[in-house]
């Protein structure tokens, strides 16, 4: 399928912007928040926040990032006519 140049550029611009935003969120969760987690003194369900972040919070956030990427990219693919067709 041939794609007109302006539409192709818009598609990739949106794709790259989404990827950069989600990678920034991943970096924030994986490194920045984990680095400062021991400084947080509050508790969630009786456990220190740093323990909860390491054991459950990051895993849930990673799944949410993957889910958001899949939903947005499916919508973007349909919008630009490059979806796989189900």
What residue segments make up the domains of the chain, in order of their start? 5-80
HEC string of 12-58 equals HHHHHHHHHHHHHHHHHHHHHHHHHHHHCCCEECCEEHHHHHHHHHH
The answer on pLDDT for 65 being more than 90 is yes
The answer on pLDDT for 72 being more than 60 is yes
CA proximity to 61, closest of 35, 22, 10: 22
Which tokens in the block code for residue 37? 């987690």
| Predicted TM-score of the model (pTM) | 0.75
Percent of the residues in the chain that have a pLDDT greater than 90, as a whole number:
41
Return the DSSP state at 75.
H
Comparing 24-33, 40-49, 60-69, the range with the smallest average pLDDT is 40-49
Q: What is the mean pLDDT of residues 63-68?
A: 96
């Amino acid at each position: 399928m041939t794609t007109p140049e302006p539409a192709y550029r818009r598609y990739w611009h949106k794709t790259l912007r989404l990827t950069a935003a989600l990678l920034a969120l991943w970096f924030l969760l994986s490194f920045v928040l984990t680095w400062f987690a021991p400084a947080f003194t509050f508790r969630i369900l009786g456990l220190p926040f740093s323990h909860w972040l390491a054991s459950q919070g990051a895993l849930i956030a990673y799944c949410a990032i993957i889910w958001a990427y899949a939903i947005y990219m499916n919508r973007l693919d349909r919008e630009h006519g490059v979806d796989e067709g189900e």
